[in-house]
Structure 1
Amino acid sequence: MNGSVKTWSEKLGFELQQLGKYVTQIDKFHENYKDVEIKLIVGKSLVETIASHIEVMMRSKVDAIQRIMDVAESSALASSLIESEREQPIDESYTYKDAKNYSQVTTSYSEHFGGDVNLNYSAVHVPTTVYGRAKETLRAIRWSEELDNTFKYNYKQDPSLSWQYFGSSTGFMRHYPALHWKPNGSNPHDPDLFDCRTRSWYIEAANSPKDVLILVDTSGSMTGMRKEIARHVVNNILDTLGNNDYVNIVKFSNITEQAVPCFEDSLVQANLANIRELKIGIAEMNTERIANFSMILTYAFELLQEFRETRRGACCNQAIMLVTDGVPDNYKEIFQRFNWADSPENPDRADMPVRIFTYLIGREVADVRDSRWMACANRGYFVHLSTLAEVREQVLNYISVMARPLVLNLTTHPTVWTPVYADIADPKITDWLWDKKERNDQKERYWIYRRNKKLRNLPKELEQYVKRTKKNPNLAGDMYKYRLMTSVSMPVFDRRENANITEWVLIKNAYWVTETREVGRQKANANATS
């Protein structure tokens, strides 16, 4: 009996061994690797080799952006000198390659770029909120044509480059290679929400990291259109913040209310998740009572001072954004205590840790003196808003103000690498795309229940639905494929010593006149992605 069991076990073992060889193809595996030579590799040497290759790759991208920056600055300066000598206005009949005008851009498929492009020239994208025929915009678009040769040279030197951009402070973006612009990457008939000035590569190159505290007046007078404009202002400010910034929103009347309760008495990183929560929190605003500006300004300065002293937050610039329909006083004593502490009587000599930006809401607001003074006396910017259409352009003005310390030093061009992001027209629209996908999922599940009222086939059909969504998570909705990439950007300075701007000035609270004044240098940004 023992012999029989032994024979059975040996036969079973042999059969299992042969089955394992057949299933795993172990003999072919040995055959393929019989000539393999095993070498001892030192981990440190391997890491150093990888680091060296990464350094070479990154250096080639930085060299490319350096060339774009040099050509952009020299072309802008040469163009301004020629125009000042001739004193001739720009030709109104001038046209450029508009990425939205498909008849102006011919394309062919490129495997490297994953779509139809034209490698012979660049195209220009102008945001919906920017007038493309404005003189300043046309001047910048014209001289930026000089970048085409640089774009092509960069791509020839480094074929691994993806897109190359030049983003102007006037709003337009020149991108190489040229392509047919499709809003949000899909349907050309969708609304175009893209603005290069709200992209992370532009924002992070244009500004140093900052702590931003947004104060929203919710007193009884902030009703109707004023409340809508205020909410729009806050949303646009949030759109200009990046991962290096810290932010919070406080609604106030004679009491304070946090837009997001769990963010109370703090500043949070301005990532997409936190920005989403803040936008949801500001969607509902109950307007009542009377605004107490002394209380809210004191609270804001104390919170920013705490973050400054404890080295939390961005540990760099700080700003207060005040959104209101009017202030009854200039609150000079509060600024002397918190912002001009080292020179209370002479603020021009004070080392101000916080800039003040005031956004005055309402067409019928006549007295703007205190709101303007608060911003100007604290090295900020004043904006008077009366319509929703002007909000985006006016809000973006604060970026150039926050960039002043960097712009004053023309010799320093910091190189900024962005985190990995999706190749999507507007990252902010990902929330909308995700909500759309969730609604389509819910709709499909609802019809599954409707088709199976007696619940006989429901478990089986639901199981099939789950398998389909796991296999292809983009089945529901028209979510399209995109690539993950990182960008390197560098600020481009206006090398002119001075420039003139014209603005409207209220005289004696009675009438408006235009006033031309001399201002400092302006700024744009160059970018390359890989």
Structure 2
Amino acid sequence: MLWGSSGLSLRGGGSTMPGRPSFQPNPSCTHSGDPWPQRLVAWSPLRKAAAVLWLLLLGTSLSPTRGQPKIPLEIVKLWADTFGGDLYTTVTKYSGSLLLQKKYKDVEPSLKIKEVDGLELVRKFSEDMESMLRRKVEAVQSLVEAAEEADLNHEYNASLVFDYYNSVLINERDAKGRSVELGAELVLEANAHFSNLRVNTSVSSVQLPTNVYNKDPDILNGVYMSEALNPVFVENFQRDPTLTWQYFGSSTGFFRIYPGILVQADRDNREHFKQLVDELMVKGVGVVNPALSEAFEILQQFQEARQGSLCNQAIMLITDGAVEDYEPVFKKYNWPDRKISTLADAQENVMEYLHVLSRPMVINHDHDITWTEAYMDSKLFTSQAQSLTLLTTVAMPVFSKKNETRSHGILLGVVGSDVTLRELMKLAPRYKLGVHGYAFLNTNNGYLLSHPDLRPLYREGKKLKPKPNYNSVDLSEVEWEDRAETKRVLFLTNDYFFTDISDTPFSLGVALSRGHGEYILLGNTSVEEGLHDLLHPDLSLASDWIYCVTDIDPDHRKLSQLEAMVRFLTREDPDLECDEELVREVLFDAVVTAPMEAYWTALALNVSNETEPAVDRAFLGTRAGLLRSGLFVGSEKLSDRKFLTPADEASVFTLDRFPLWYRQASEQPAGSFVFNLRFAEGPESPGEPAVVTASTAVAVTVDKKTAIAAAVGVQMKLEFLRRKFWAATRQCGAAAGPCPKTCEDSDLDCFVIDNNGFILISERAHEPGVKLKEKPVHTW
């Protein structure tokens, strides 16, 4: 069933014109015992609004007779208009925004704007995800069949001798340079599909707990039997390359994992373990008798009332020792007592209980499919990467099919495969969701599997740590701003559409923003013309978007999306599968934006002789994920080299979001610029900010429907803005002689803040980058 609803979503990452700031008293702002008043002036230049900027003046003393400020308001307006006019001239010149708007205007008669059908969109995404997840289930089912058949045909041999790849010993050598026992040579290569770990995709390897003897007869027989899974692992991966780890966990205590991998207790793994147990500590003594009594009471009530789930029910207590005797509790409830007193007994007794509990399923051949909640890839903790990989796992039990064991209900183990949610979300393409639209996944318990604003980590010093209950987050918890992390806020009204994903416990939702988010722009051009303009050095494509499928054929995996697209368009590789609609839109955008390269190049030649150019670079992005940029300085002189690189996820197209500068610009009137203060190495780095970006949207209107086609902007040094501002505030109109007041006077403080309320310009070097509301000033 599909549903649609609407609501107001407050989401981080955008910008709005800030409301009137609240001011707090500042005892230092006094003069002659009287508080100085202030003026807050909002301005727009005489031309198109360059930005929503605010000019804040502190310290304009009042005349004791008339209560008028010494500095006329028309002078303040003159400063604002002069500064705004100069700024607008600079950003329009260097960005080429007027040229880009004209190019899209020229082709408007050939364009179409289609209204987005949210219900149809969520239905199509759901069907694609269902097909993908069904393939994962089929892969696991093939492992179940292979494991059960292998066990059926295997005769237990207590004296079996067999060598296998032990994950801890692979490629290990002794003092004489010979391979150690169970440590044969295995070629391992870094594989991007498996978090860049060194693996072998031709074979699986076996892991064992340290307290399990690796040549125990039960282990050897189980490992030998499960060798039959190797060809199935490989075949599954070849059939569905989006599969990640596949495994078989045996009830005898070993773990077979594909692809084969070397597991060592190196510093990274030890650090991972330390993070997991860092906060565990012993506190007092467990009072077990009352807990056991309560557990028996609850279980008895449920059995008498025939409540609870229709499955086996049991109470199991696991402890490292006890200070009390549980015999009275067992006798009272007339239950058979079964205690495990030594570590050696643990495995045998626990597995005996598992066999008992699994017996009804074995007899009935119930191979229940289990999907897990979202959890983190442990690779996250062994790297410095800021990106996060969330997984879900599909698993099924493996039972013995031998006639002599059926009545005993022998559980052989569990097979499963991990599914990266990132691969799943690729089936909800960004370009179909618009600038602010997004897709999200829920479990049947109402918890999020995936959402652009699901932030399960927090930073403690230099370490990233998981938040408590990170995988039990409700949708309502992320649809509103995280005040601890949000630096820019945008109010959006969204329409929500959602449906279930058949044969899974998951549901899919899509949020579409109202306004331009309700429409999608469609263009067209010839392949020849588009290819010519696509092959330019200043052009790149969103690396996370799927223009062409490159992860199925091994020959395609090393291709970039741009390279794959070119091979598809030139028919060089007929086996490539590409999203023809997205490819068509990219070709169209490449043609329309091509003149920008020549414009920026000519401009760069004209400003090459300047000692300090006003702007470092210009850039643009389109709704098809195309990105162009042009430099006005050498790359070594860029004030922010991280900007527009994959290391700065906020400034590039990602699987989850359009760039920040694109999203901000889309919510302002077309032609007006949004200004952002940036720190060269990120907000958490020390030092004052040095970079400002300005961006504006290009909108297209057809038949009274408007869609955002692109956004264009510039990156400039903050010092350039400072000089422009101080120069503007030295003017005083037609007044003869020196200005009576300027922002450089000691009794007058002037500030310029950006669209998000951060101070851009101040007389004090430490204040740029500070939120205006965090600066204490006097009220009036």
User: TM-score, normalization: structure 2?
Assistant: 0.36
Higher mean Cα deviation, 132-141 or 319-328?
A: 319-328
1:97 to 165, 172, 176: 165
Instruction: Tell me how far apart the structure 2 counterparts of residues 40 and 283 of structure 1 sit (CA, whole Å).
Output: 61
Q: Which residue of 2 is the match for residue 320 of structure 1?
A: 315
Instruction: Tell me how far apart the structure 2 counterparts of residues 155 and 419 of structure 1 sit (CA, whole Å).
Output: 23
**Cα pair distance change 1:8/1:404, threshold 3 Å:** closer
**Cα pair distance change 1:18/1:176, threshold 3 Å:** same
Q: Which residue of 2 is the match for residue 169 of structure 1?
A: 251
Q: Which residue of 2 is the match for residue 146 of structure 1?
A: 228
Secondary structure of the equivalent of 2:147? helix
How many angstroms does 1:23 deviate by?
7.2
1:488 aligns with 2:359: no
Q: Which residue of 2 is the match for residue 334 of structure 1?
A: 333
User: Contact 1:76 / 1:494 at 8 angstroms: preserved in 2?
Assistant: yes
Identity of aligned residues (%): 30
Q: Which residue of 1 is the match for residue 189 of structure 2?
A: 108
How many angstroms does 1:300 deviate by?
2.9
Secondary structure of the equivalent of 1:408? helix
Instruction: Tell me how far apart the structure 2 counterparts of residues 424 and 11 of structure 1 sit (CA, whole Å).
Output: 55
How many angstroms does 1:305 deviate by?
5.1
**Cα pair distance change 1:408/1:184, threshold 3 Å:** farther
User: Contact 1:308 / 1:315 at 8 angstroms: preserved in 2?
Assistant: no
**Cα pair distance change 1:393/1:46, threshold 3 Å:** same
Output the amino acid matched with 2:412: K
What is the 5 A alignment of 1:327-406? 328=327, 334-335=333-334, 374-375=336-337, 382-386=338-342, 388=343, 391=346, 394-395=349-350, 397-406=352-361
**Cα pair distance change 1:185/1:26, threshold 3 Å:** farther
Instruction: Tell me how far apart the structure 2 counterparts of residues 162 and 42 of structure 1 sit (CA, whole Å).
Output: 33
Instruction: Tell me how far apart the structure 2 counterparts of residues 529 and 177 of structure 1 sit (CA, whole Å).
Output: 12
**Cα pair distance change 1:5/1:176, threshold 3 Å:** closer
What is the 5 A alignment of 1:77-476? 77-80=152-155, 83=156, 89-92=158-161, 94-103=162-171, 104=184, 105-113=186-194, 114-183=196-265, 186-187=268-269, 190=270, 283-285=283-285, 298-304=293-299, 317-321=312-316, 326=325, 328=327, 334-335=333-334, 374-375=336-337, 382-386=338-342, 388=343, 391=346, 394-395=349-350, 397-410=352-365, 412-424=366-378
1:527 aligns with 2:416: yes
CA distances 1:398-457 after superposition (whole Å, capped 9, x unpaired): 4333333322322x21111111112228x9xx8xx9xxxxxxxxxxxxxxxxxxxxxxxx
Instruction: Tell me how far apart the structure 2 counterparts of residues 58 and 74 of structure 1 sit (CA, whole Å).
Output: 25
Output the amino acid matched with 2:315: I
Secondary structure of the equivalent of 1:95? coil
User: Contact 2:355 / 2:410 at 8 angstroms: preserved in 1?
Assistant: no
How many angstroms does 1:318 deviate by?
3.6
User: Contact 2:393 / 2:417 at 8 angstroms: preserved in 1?
Assistant: yes
**Cα pair distance change 1:33/1:176, threshold 3 Å:** farther
Instruction: Tell me how far apart the structure 1 counterparts of residues 207 and 262 of structure 2 sit (CA, whole Å).
Output: 10
Q: Which residue of 1 is the match for residue 121 of structure 2?
A: 46
Secondary structure of the equivalent of 1:127? coil
CA distances 1:353-375 after superposition (whole Å, capped 9, x unpaired): xxx6xxxxxxxxxxxxxxxxx14
**Cα pair distance change 1:489/1:185, threshold 3 Å:** farther
Secondary structure of the equivalent of 1:165? strand
Task: Please list every run of 5 or more consecutive structure 2 residues that lacks an aligned counterpart in the other structure.
Answer: 1-74, 172-183, 420-780
Task: Please list every run of 5 or more consecutive structure 1 residues that lacks an aligned counterpart in the other structure.
Answer: 194-271, 336-355, 357-373, 376-381, 434-473, 501-517
How many angstroms does 1:98 deviate by?
1.0
Larger Rg: 2
Q: Which residue of 1 is the match for residue 679 of structure 2?
A: none
Q: Which residue of 2 is the match for residue 437 of structure 1?
A: none
Instruction: Tell me how far apart the structure 2 counterparts of residues 414 and 54 of structure 1 sit (CA, whole Å).
Output: 20
Instruction: Tell me how far apart the structure 2 counterparts of residues 121 and 401 of structure 1 sit (CA, whole Å).
Output: 33
Q: Which residue of 2 is the match for residue 498 of structure 1?
A: 404
CA distances 1:109-161 after superposition (whole Å, capped 9, x unpaired): 21211221111111111111222111111111001111111111111100111
How many angstroms does 1:30 deviate by?
2.6
Instruction: Tell me how far apart the structure 2 counterparts of residues 276 and 7 of structure 1 sit (CA, whole Å).
Output: 60
Instruction: Tell me how far apart the structure 1 counterparts of residues 375 and 361 of structure 2 sit (CA, whole Å).
Output: 26
Equivalent residue pairs, number? 323
CA distances 1:39-77 after superposition (whole Å, capped 9, x unpaired): 122111111110011011101101111111111110110
Structure with the largest fraction of helix: 1
How many angstroms does 1:389 deviate by?
5.9
Instruction: Tell me how far apart the structure 1 counterparts of residues 416 and 284 of structure 2 sit (CA, whole Å).
Output: 37
Q: Which residue of 2 is the match for residue 74 of structure 1?
A: 149
Q: Which residue of 1 is the match for residue 61 of structure 2?
A: none
Secondary structure of the equivalent of 1:284? coil
User: Contact 2:247 / 2:257 at 8 angstroms: preserved in 1?
Assistant: yes
**Cα pair distance change 1:310/1:526, threshold 3 Å:** same
**Cα pair distance change 1:16/1:417, threshold 3 Å:** same
How many angstroms does 1:24 deviate by?
6.3
Q: Which residue of 1 is the match for residue 131 of structure 2?
A: 56
CA distances 1:169-227 after superposition (whole Å, capped 9, x unpaired): 0111111111111348835xx5998xxxxxxxxxxxxxxxxxxxxxxxxxxxxxxxxxx
User: Contact 2:358 / 2:409 at 8 angstroms: preserved in 1?
Assistant: no
Output the amino acid matched with 2:237: Y
CA distances 1:302-335 after superposition (whole Å, capped 9, x unpaired): 3445677999987855433356665556855634
Output the amino acid matched with 1:111: A
CA distances 1:265-306 after superposition (whole Å, capped 9, x unpaired): xxxxxxx99x999x75x642189xxx9x6x765433334456
Over aligned residues, Cα RMSD in angstroms? 4.5
Structure possessing the higher relative contact order (Cα contacts under 8 Å, 6 or more residues apart): 2
Output the amino acid matched with 1:402: L
Output the amino acid matched with 1:490: M
Instruction: Tell me how far apart the structure 2 counterparts of residues 134 and 495 of structure 1 sit (CA, whole Å).
Output: 23
User: Contact 2:400 / 2:411 at 8 angstroms: preserved in 1?
Assistant: yes
**Cα pair distance change 1:5/1:497, threshold 3 Å:** closer
User: Contact 2:354 / 2:411 at 8 angstroms: preserved in 1?
Assistant: no
Output the amino acid matched with 2:140: I
Secondary structure of the equivalent of 1:150? helix
What is the 5 A alignment of 1:508-527? 519-527=408-416
Higher mean Cα deviation, 130-139 or 321-330?
A: 321-330
CA distances 1:230-255 after superposition (whole Å, capped 9, x unpaired): xxxxxxxxxxxxxxxxxxxxxxxxxx
